[in-house]
Amino acid sequence: MTASPGGALLVFAVLTPVAGILLSFALGGRAAERITLALAPIGLALAGFIAFLVARSGAPLVYVIGGLPPPLGIALRADGASATMMVAAALIVPAAAFYARAKFATPDGVAESRGALTFWIMLQAIWAALNLIFLGADLFNLYVALELLTFAAVPLVCIDGRPETLAAALRYLLFALFGSISYLLGVALLYGGYGTLDIVLLGERIAATPLVWTAAALMTAGLLAKTALFPLHIWLPPAHANAPAAASAVLSGLVVKGSFFLTLRLWFYVLPALPMAAPAAILGTLGGCAALFGSILALRQPRLKLLVAYSTVAQIGYLFLVFPLASAPAGGALGWSGGFVQVLAHAFAKAAMFLSAGVLAEALGHDRIAHFSGAARALPLTFLTLGLGGLSLMGLPPSGGFEAKWLMLRACAASGQWIWAVPILGGGLLAGGYVYRILAPALADGVVEVKARPQLSRELVALGLVGVALALAFAPEGFFEFIQIGRPLAGGGAS
């Protein structure tokens, strides 16, 4: 394995936010906020340039750290899927940072405050961890990335310091630690069996033995707990609903996608030699159940943030349909594209909706849906964002959500797996129900008392994010070719 020209950029994509964390922690106080905001353009430029290099060469970008190649050393690898996710993270994290400036400014009169320092450092840590998850090509290196992600995400949940936020964070921590240890056990087994942790080398060597099946089961179970796939979803709604809006946007939009991305890496890159039909059917069934069950629970929530959080449970479900669809002998490429468009559409739409829910809760002083009558007249931009985000969640055109479902349905048709159309269409119908529950009272006659005028800039950040979710509907053909770059075609992943 040799490094590609420009491969060092992959390491810098991880090191830049890491340097930010160390500097912020050492300098303390207001520096943490300034450093995070200064990182935004650098991170976006790095992600964009890496995507450009991958697109130009049409092959994955590789860097061998220290010039010491695997199996002893570690490599980083950017394929089309990694570069796409890095660009998404480089848009959503800065948007959340920009939105959070007002809430997490260090107050006058103190040198440093608990909430501000924690928020800004953990936000940079999430960015570093996600970039490493998207680029990692070594299973233990990816474990370190998962730990970085967990230890950054959990404190964000209880940053408000209320007792119920602490309880939600503790529950999240327990699930996440179960996930870590389970993943690590599987990694140790694979090393014991094959003497390497490099994804490419493992993919070439692995055969379907009891050891590999046990490792696969342990690692998958751990990653599902971190992704909150039904029935391991119970930690997600309280955690995402109790975090501050800017943190919820990143947690729901990006953090759960990190462990989902690793589940994809595991099954399509590390384990292509395993017969995929049975595990793909199990993952697809859990995903289908999540899509229906999460939507039904979202329909019953009295508060907007909880509703949006339960909608995340449902939308995560669709992601797992990629396993049966992309591993099918026919239509695999359609299923793969559909899965990635769903990841992106949900990331942007959900981040926008959580930011809007934050604007709304601050303006009205509550987020009880029953008391929204007439709110759309008072906060038209925010409800426009919520409505457009809902459009993508339902899967109506023109939106990324529609594009994702359309691709997935075509993959169902091409591979003859009609059963997965049930959750795709049924979940969309139920999403229509819960989006209607938000919008109908808001558009009705009534007068709400606006306690504080929302800042226009924050409403525009949310609208901009939802704009990206809609723009995905017009993604050119080249984009779908791009996310297929480096996708393995052997074994389970035939096109």
Partner 1 sequence: MSVLPALDVGLALLVVGVAAWTIAARNLFASVVGYVAYGLLLALVWVRLYAPDVALTEAAVGGGVTGVLLVTAGKRLDALASAEVGVPPGRALKILAGALAALVAGALAWVVLTLPSPAPSLAPAAAEAAAGPGAGLGNPITAVLISYRSFDTMLEKVVLILAVLGVWSVGADAAWGAAPAPLRKVRPDGAMILLAQFLAPVGLLIGVHIFWVGADAPGGAFQGGALLAAMGMVAMMARLAEPPRIDSRKLRLALVAGPAVFLIVGVAGLALADNLFAYPQNFAKPLILFIEAFMVLSIAVALPMLVCGPPNGSPK
The residue ranges that bind partner 1 (CB under 8 A) are 8, 11, 14-15, 18-19, 21-22, 25-26, 28, 63-68, 71-74, 110-115, 117-118, 121-122, 125, 128, 132, 140-141, 144-145, 147-148, 151-152, 154-155, 158-159, 161, 166, 185, 189, 192-196, 209-211, 214-215, 217-218
Q: Which residues contact 97 (CB under 8 A, 6 or more apart)?
A: 36, 37, 40, 120, 123, 246
DSSP one-letter code for 105? S
The nearer residue to partner 1, 117 or 249, going by C-beta atoms, is 117
Provide the minimum distance between the beta carbon of 18 and partner 1 in the complex, in angstroms, as a whole number: 6
Angle at CA of residue 102, ends 375 and 451, nearest 5°: 30
The nearer residue to partner 1, 49 or 140, going by C-beta atoms, is 140
The nearer residue to partner 1, 216 or 473, going by C-beta atoms, is 216
Burial, 452: exposed, middle or buried (Cβ in 10 Å; 0-12, 13-18, 19+)? exposed
Angle at CA of residue 287, ends 263 and 492, nearest 5°: 50
Provide the minimum distance between the beta carbon of 97 and partner 1 in the complex, in angstroms, as a whole number: 17
Provide the minimum distance between the beta carbon of 196 and partner 1 in the complex, in angstroms, as a whole number: 7
Contact indicator for 202, 194 with CB cutoff of 8 Å? yes
Contact indicator for 1, 63 with CB cutoff of 8 Å? no
Cα 470 from Cα 388, distance rounded (Å): 8
Provide the minimum distance between the beta carbon of 166 and partner 1 in the complex, in angstroms, as a whole number: 7
H-type helices in 195-331, by residue range? Answer: 199-205, 210-227, 236-242, 245-250, 256-264, 277-299, 304-319, 322-326
Q: Which residues contact 236 (CB under 8 A, 6 or more apart)?
A: 172, 228, 256, 309, 312, 313
The nearer residue to partner 1, 113 or 373, going by C-beta atoms, is 113
The nearer residue to partner 1, 214 or 484, going by C-beta atoms, is 214
CA separation (Å) from 273 to 70, 71, 142, 207, 340? 21, 20, 21, 6, 23
Provide the minimum distance between the beta carbon of 195 and partner 1 in the complex, in angstroms, as a whole number: 3
Cα 211 from Cα 219, distance rounded (Å): 12
Cα 225 from Cα 160, distance rounded (Å): 24
Cα 483 from Cα 485, distance rounded (Å): 6
The nearer residue to partner 1, 261 or 480, going by C-beta atoms, is 261
Provide the minimum distance between the beta carbon of 287 and partner 1 in the complex, in angstroms, as a whole number: 22
Provide the minimum distance between the beta carbon of 398 and partner 1 in the complex, in angstroms, as a whole number: 40
Give the pair of three-digit tokens for residue 85: 């996710």
Provide the minimum distance between the beta carbon of 252 and partner 1 in the complex, in angstroms, as a whole number: 20
Provide the minimum distance between the beta carbon of 267 and partner 1 in the complex, in angstroms, as a whole number: 19
The nearer residue to partner 1, 192 or 416, going by C-beta atoms, is 192
DSSP one-letter code for 416? T
The nearer residue to partner 1, 166 or 281, going by C-beta atoms, is 166
The nearer residue to partner 1, 118 or 252, going by C-beta atoms, is 118
Provide the minimum distance between the beta carbon of 163 and partner 1 in the complex, in angstroms, as a whole number: 11
- Got the DSSP string for 312-333? HHHHHHHHTTHHHHHTSSSSHH
Contact indicator for 434, 295 with CB cutoff of 8 Å? yes
The nearer residue to partner 1, 221 or 296, going by C-beta atoms, is 221
The nearer residue to partner 1, 38 or 450, going by C-beta atoms, is 38
Q: 303: which strand partners?
A: 368
The nearer residue to partner 1, 196 or 385, going by C-beta atoms, is 196
Which three-class secondary structure state does DSSP give residue 93? Answer: helix
DSSP one-letter code for 71? T
Q: 61: which strand partners?
A: 78
Cα 50 from Cα 61, distance rounded (Å): 8
Provide the minimum distance between the beta carbon of 75 and partner 1 in the complex, in angstroms, as a whole number: 10
Provide the minimum distance between the beta carbon of 369 and partner 1 in the complex, in angstroms, as a whole number: 30
